[in-house]
Amino acid sequence: MNLRHSIVTRFALFFTGLIIFSILLSGYLVFRKASEVITAHSKERIMHASELAEQSFYALLNEVTNDIAVIALSPTLQQHISRPSDKTTKDIDQLFRIILENKETYFQIRLLDADENGNEIIRFDKLDGQVVKSINLQQKGDREYFKEALQIGKGEHYFSNINLNEEYGVISTPFTPTLRVASPIFDDKNTKVGILIININLGPLYLSLDQIAGTDSQFYLIDAHGQYLYSRDRSKQFGQQTRKFQNFYSDFNEDDSSQETPKNGFQQLTGHNGSSYLNYFRELSYFDGKRKIYLISNMDQNILLKNALGVRSESIQTLLWVCLFSILLSWFFTNLFSKKIKKITKAISNYDQGIPDDNSLPINRKDEIGILAKTFTKMKVKIDQNVLELNTALEKEQIARKQRDEFLQNMSHEMRTPLNAILGLTKLLYKNASEPQLPIINALERSSNSLAGLVYDVLDHQKLVEGKLHIQLEPSNIAKLLRDIHSTYLYEAVQKGLTFHISIDEKLETTLYQTDSLRLTQIVTNLVVNAIKYTKKGSISLIASISGTDHQTLNIKVKDTGVGVLPKNLNSINDRFFMEKNDLSGRYGSYGLGLSIVKQLTTLFGGTLVASSMKGKGSEFMISIPTISPSRPKLAKPITSTTLPLPVLSGNYQILHIEDDSSTIELIQHILKLNNITVLQAKTIDEALEIINSETPNLIISDLMLENTKINTRLKDWIKSKKIECPLIITSALDATEANIPFGHYFQKPFQIDQLKDTVYKVLGRNEFKAPDFSNIYNNYDQDIPKINKVLKLLEKEFENYLIGINKICESKDQVKWEAINHKLIAHINNLQLTDLKEVLPDTISIIDEDRLLKINNIFAYYLCCIRTERHLNSKVGSS
């Protein structure tokens, strides 16, 4: 056999290529996903930092606005304006001095005359931390900020552009980024008599921006022309005043002459060094929108994706070695195994063609090749023996088949004939029957009809299984067919006190359709008989309609108000001898062959059967017979399970389980029997009382029915007489409203195991932990259960994240992150009264040892149990 035709070679090449492709694809997907996650996270950080920077800027403006408004309206200043004197001058001096001493960012405060010269009346400066009153007063009438400040009205405040402070046209050193805020001063006649001006040093704000930006990004403040008002590199600031002409647009290859007003949001820019930068623009406006500057958060893309790029580089190198190794290994094993397998395949081929083969096979090998050779040798012997036996069995099977066909034909004749006579004679008996005999005759007729239906079903079912039954299509009046069925079974329905409705689409009344009337009648009859059989009271409906235009579909629906079918059994109704366990007996406990016949005949038509039901409310069966092949049903998706964190209890506890069902006893014993929890189980009420008196359990889990007798009253008496002083959890098939005893938790069977375990750990954990107090949550949301459940769900997810975060921080010993998570937790500690957590969380991460970390994890696990239990209780409230 040519090596390139070998399946081993093909598989080796295929899986080698698949491995290489998988590694390439996974590497690409991981890098792309990592880049997206990192970029998204960085954008959130940038936006958050920008918000903090914006808040810092506006906080400063609000502060100075409030201060200048208070000074302008202060009685001290107003008295000086109205009646100046030595005393008022001293008061003003003291006021201005106090302002500068107590405000770190204020370095100058002045009172100017409101005339056109702008003479300084009073001026205080802060020099090297010392506040001094200037005697060298100046005229500021030519200054732009003075002229603009004169134009504002009463109650308004003026804000200047941000620039470097200048004295006599010379930039003050050290360079001081300055913002001037002014307020007009009016006398008691509402005449503008002065201008109050405060000079603010923005240096502390700039230091705050440095800290907010961090190490991997930086902020810029620019004006509309791109001039740096703030940069971490202070030499770039105020390029117009310093004559260095540093400009943001020039630094990032943008043409500032054609640059439009920057828009808020993210932009990708390129620096002089060719690096790509992620920039976030945010407009900051003040002075009623007359002043606009732009806050830019800037991050280098290479720094942003440094880790992802490193992983990609290492992955590519590793991939090359893996590819080379895979190719060499594939070639070696392909060459090795092909020789061995070729020998075996040749022997199999020769055996298939009847060619004698004397070559010995490697049956002594212990690997798959040896097993294959040994198995083929044994199979060859067995096949030779079986062929002889099959030839003999085939002759016997042909004889048996012939005999069976004859038996079925005879049985069909022998059973149908007497049944026909019985049914006919039964009709005759009605004519001469007396009143007492009628119930007997009715019973005989119903039994005969049931037996006849069973015989026909058995015979047809056998034909369906063997594939001997075929659909014979012919033009048929489906409406008449359905009305005949309705008339036939209307009397039986009325005898049971049922109403039998029929509704047929008008198209079916006026049009003939191609169908097999006999088989369609058999389908509908079985559904109607089933509906009458399992409906004690109420109604039955037979509904038919036609849908579609070119490809029409016949839909027939039979609805009843009977006993219904459990949801878990809906998929089993087509099993040949399916029986649902319920309180009914005899034929009411089994669905027989009827639905199996319906299913198989519907499939033979190329249609579908859909069943829906609610136990105790009724059932609905609908067949759809299309003119095309039926669609395949979709498979249900598997349900995943999750592992819930549970606390480790240090104490020893006893749980009394009162239950007489063996399966439930084994289940509870299995899920709750731990080292420090002992499960004591009682099957009778006397056993339970004996255990309560002798063992004093910490928790009781009880059913409400023992040996088909309710124990509600006994439990209630025990609680009243203090025999039961521990918490009580009820697990019962009865509804909670039937309990009529005080209990903390109620689980109606079937219940979720995880929910029961959460509740048990919450109850027992109260002996070791203080449970969260959810009252504030209920009060804050006005006892609105759906909203509270959403809050509890978010709280559960948040606490799971806290638990993960705390363990990671304890590994890294990062004090900054520890303080951040402590700051977030303090709100929950206060709101939920988490005293245990408050006591165990230290201020310093370094003192957390392994024991304390285990204690923290255990407390969080208990809190999560409490949250899940609260959600479970609320879900029952919401559904009731």
d(CA 345, CA 136): 112
* Coil, strand or helix at 684: coil
> 699-702 and 728-732: which strand pairing?
parallel
CA pair distance 527, 572, nearest whole angstrom: 16
Identify the pLDDT of residue 380. 74
pLDDT for res 570: 67
Please say whether the beta carbons of 836 and 773 come within 8 A.
Answer: no
- pLDDT, residue 295, reads 92
- CB within 8 A of 584, min separation 6: which ones? 563
- Residue 578 confidence class, pLDDT cut points 50, 70, 90: very low
Say which range, 57-61, 527-531, 580-584, 674-678, has the weakest mean pLDDT: 580-584
Residue 576 has pLDDT above 50, yes or no: no
What is the pTM assigned to this prediction? 0.39
Query: What is the Rg, in whole angstroms, of the alpha carbon atoms belonging to the chain?
Result: 45
Q: Is the pLDDT of residue 408 over 70?
A: no
Report the alpha-carbon distance of residue 548 to residue 528 in Å, rounded.
Answer: 26
- What integer pLDDT is reported at residue 62 of this predicted model? 93
Asked whether the beta carbons of 269 and 253 are under 8 A apart, the reply is yes
Percentage of the residues of the chain whose pLDDT score is greater than 90: 19
Q: Contact at 8 Å (CB) between 731 and 751?
A: yes
- Computed from CA positions of residues 206, 209, 210, 211, in that sequence, does the dihedral angle turn out positive or negative? positive
Higher pLDDT, 877 or 577: 877
C-beta of residue 284 within 8 angstroms of C-beta of residue 295: yes
Q: Once rounded to an integer, what is the mean pLDDT over residues 6-22?
A: 71
Mean pLDDT of 166-188: 86
Instruction: Name beta bridge partners: 182.
Output: 158, 197
Residue 445 CA from chain centroid, whole number: 59
**Long-range contacts of the stretch 338-342 (C-beta < 8 A, 24+):** 338/1, 338/3, 338/6, 338/8, 338/9, 340/365, 340/369, 341/6, 341/8, 341/369, 341/372, 342/1, 342/6
862 close to 765: Cβ distance less than 8 angstroms = yes
Report the greatest alpha carbon distance in the chain.
140
* Rounded-to-10 torsion of CA 440, 443, 449, 453: -150
What integer pLDDT is reported at residue 556 of this predicted model? 94
What's the pLDDT band for 640 if we cut at 50, 70, 90?
Answer: very low
Average pLDDT of the chain? 80
785-812 vs 850-879: helix crossing angle, rounded to 10: 170
CATH of domain 653-765: 3.40.50.2300
pLDDT for residue 571 is more than 80? no
Q: Hey, which of 188-202, 402-416, 560-574 has the most confident mean pLDDT?
A: 188-202
The mean-pLDDT minimum among 382-396, 434-448, 623-637, 808-822 falls in: 623-637
Q: In the prediction, which pLDDT does 61 show?
A: 92
CA pair distance 625, 561, nearest whole angstrom: 25
Kindly state the helix (H) or strand (E) to which residue 387 belongs, with its residue range. helix 368-432
Kindly list the distances between the CA atom of residue 338 and the CA atoms of 10, 612, 806, in Å, as whole numbers in the listed order: 11, 56, 56
CA distances from 58 to 51, 66, 205, 218 (A): 11, 12, 11, 19
Whether the per-residue pLDDT at 582 is higher than 50: the answer is no
pLDDT of residue 474: 79
How many Å apart are CA 109 and CA 99, to the nearest integer? Answer: 8
- Prior bond of 645 cis (ω within 30°): no
Region(s) of the chain under CATH 3.30.450.20: 73-214
pLDDT score of 178 more than 90: yes
Q: How confident is the model at residue 635 (pLDDT cuts 50, 70, 90)?
A: very low
Contact 786, 877 (CB under 8 A): no
Predicted pLDDT at 877: 57
User: How confident is the model over 289-299, as a mean pLDDT?
Assistant: 90
Under 8 Å between Cβ of 580 and 591: yes
What distance in Å separates the CA atoms of residue 322 and residue 19, rounded to the nearest whole number?
9
Upstream peptide bond of 174 is cis (omega within 30 degrees of 0): yes
Domain with CATH 3.30.565.10 in the chain: 470-626
For residues 61 and 159, the answer to whether their CB atoms sit within 8 Å is: yes
Fold for the domain defined by 470-626: Heat Shock Protein 90 (3.30.565)
Contact 558, 524 (CB under 8 A): yes
Highest mean pLDDT among 4-13, 300-309, 830-839: 830-839
Beta carbons of 101 and 107 less than 8 angstroms apart: no
Q: Residues 649, 768: contact at Cβ < 8 Å?
A: yes
- Cα gap 647→771, rounded to integer Å: 13
> Distances in Å between the alpha carbon of 182 and those of 67, 110, 558?
11, 9, 86
Among candidate residues 430, 539, 543, the one with its CA nearest the CA of residue 485: 543
Q: Is the distance from CB of 204 to CB of 196 less than 8 angstroms?
A: no
Query: How far apart (Å, rounded) are the C-alpha atoms in residues 61 and 179?
Result: 10
Positive/negative CA dihedral, 762, 765, 767, 773: negative
Rounded Cα gap, residues 152 and 154, in angstroms: 7
What would the two tokens of residue 729 be? 């959890």
What integer is the mean pLDDT of 452-480? 70
CATH of 73-214, one of 3.90.1150.10, 3.40.50.720, 3.40.50.300, 3.30.450.20: 3.30.450.20
Q: Which residue has the tokens 């022998």?
A: 414
Taking residue 537's Cβ as centre, other Cβ atoms within 10 Å add up to 10
CATH architecture of 215-228+238-303: 2-Layer Sandwich (3.30)
The residue whose two tokens read 């002089």 is: 272
User: What confidence score (pLDDT) does residue 615 get?
Assistant: 79
Residue with tokens 């209990």: 743
Q: How far apart are CA 110 and CA 97, in angstroms?
A: 11
- Tens of pLDDT, residue by residue over 103-114, are 989 999 999 998
Q: Which residues contact 31 (CB under 8 A, 6 or more apart)?
A: 308, 311, 312, 315
Give the pLDDT band of residue 430 (cuts 50, 70, 90): low
- Is pLDDT at 59 greater than 50 in this prediction? yes
User: Is the model's pLDDT at 575 over the cut of 80?
Assistant: no
The neighbour count for residue 10, using CB atoms within 10 Å, is: 12
Burial of 683-714, coded b for 16+ CB within 10 Å and e otherwise, reads bebeebeebbeeeebbbbbbbbebeeebbbeb
How far apart are the C-alpha atoms of 816 and 806, rounded to whole Å? 12
Which runs of E-coded beta strand occur in 586-637?
608-614, 618-626
Alpha-carbon separation of residue 184 from 71, 98, 123, 594, 698 (angstroms)? 11, 21, 16, 98, 77
User: H or E stretch including 673?
Assistant: none
- Provide CATH 3.40.50.2300 ranges for the chain: 653-765
Helices within 214-305 (DSSP H only): 239-242, 248-251, 301-304
Length of the chain: 880
Sheet holding 677-682, edge to edge: 677-682, 653-658, 699-702, 728-732, 745-748
Looking up tokens 């005449």, which residue turns up? 191
pLDDT at residue 395 in the model: 85
Instruction: Copy the structure tokens of residue 126.
Output: 């802060």
Relative orientation angle of helices 7-72 and 203-213, to the nearest 10 degrees: 160
- Condensed to tens digits (0 to 9), the pLDDT of residues 329-388 reads 777 777 666 666 766 776 777 776 667 666 677 777 766 677 777 777 777 778 778 878
Residue ranges of the alpha helices (H) in 73-85? 75-82
pLDDT at 177: 93
N-term to C-term CA, the chain:
73
Matching residue, tokens 């403006």: 61
Condensed to tens digits (0 to 9), the pLDDT of residues 320-337 reads 787 778 777 777 777 666
